[in-house]
Amino acid sequence: MAADLLSKDRRIRFPSGSYQAFYKGINYKIDPENDIVEMTQKLNIRYSPESREEAVNLANKLGIEKIQKRASLFSKLLLLSILLFLFLMFFPSYISAKSESFFLSAGKFLAIVSEIVFLYMFGYYKAAVNYCTDSYCEKCGKHFVFEEFQAPLVKEESKIDTYTKTLTQYWHCRNCGHEDIKIEPQPLDHHHEKKQGNLIEDTCEECGKEHAIEEYRNIDVLNYVLRKKIRYFKCRNCGYHEIRLHKRF
Ligand SMILES: [Zn+2]
Ligand SMILES: [Zn+2]
């Protein structure tokens, strides 16, 4: 079991005296004194400079209202073409019996092509609408000025009795300076599993002392999408710490 864990687990090492480690885009921070472990990850800013520019150009050309109308028009056309396709699939007998198969296949083909075209057009205008809405500043009433000034941050915090996950988004207005920092708790399915008392492999890799590694906190188990176990170890001799991530599939 222990050997199995060692080979499969991702191991994040904190040599004696170090309390931070960066691993696969996530910053791990341990605070042994208060028994808190923090994991933070920066996400991408929602709108790339290219998508912003495209939306602004489109809005200058058409006006925001027209973009909204087109998005709603293409969503309706998309729905219609899906309905048409379903109709041709399930009620082919409504089409006249003669030369049925040719018209039917042609109809289905056309329905699929228009679905793809309408979906693309809807996505294109919808993205512009979203940017127009998100970049509007409620304080000064201007469009294209509200923007993310820092990458969004996902933070997981493990304490003795709680485990929380939050998403922080940083927005401000380029025009009037209005700032909006939103911290939203993220849904999480978490429970604790009891730490293991006797480890099979308990020699410290840092100082080489035998029977020095102990599992010092209970195991954090996360379900649903994450499906991972987080285990916490330390060396009683030299102060080396280690976090082991076990992904379950
Ligand atoms: Zn403003
Ligand atoms: Zn050690």
The pLDDT value recorded for residue 94 is 65
pLDDT tens-place string over residues 127-137: 999 999 999 99
Q: What is the mean pLDDT of residues 40-49?
A: 95
Over residues 10-33, the pLDDT tens digits come to 899 999 999 999 999 999 999 989
Residue 33, sorted as left (phi over 0), alpha (psi -120 to 50) or beta, turns out to be: alpha
Ligand nearest to the CA of 171: 1
| Distance from residue 231's CA to the centre of ligand 1 (Å) | 46
Q: How far is the CA of 154 from the centre of ligand 2 (A)?
A: 32
Give me ligand 2 centre to Cα 155, in Å: 29
Task: Give me the pLDDT at residue 2, please.
Answer: 45
Distance from the alpha carbon of residue 139 to the mean position of ligand 1, in angstroms: 5
pTM attached to this predicted model = 0.75
Question: Highest-confidence range of 3-12, 189-198, 220-229, by mean pLDDT?
Answer: 189-198
Which ligand has the minimum distance to the alpha carbon of residue 142? 1
Higher pLDDT: 227 or 116? It is 116
Least confident of 48-57, 90-99, 158-167: 90-99
Ligand in closest contact with the CA of 236 = 2
The residues, any chain, with a CB within 8 Å of residue 201's CB and separated by 6 or more, are: 2, 3, 6, 213
Helices (H), 94-185: 100-134
Please state, as a whole number, how many other Cβ atoms lie within 10 Å of the Cβ of residue 163: 17
Q: 206 or 94: whose pLDDT is higher?
A: 206
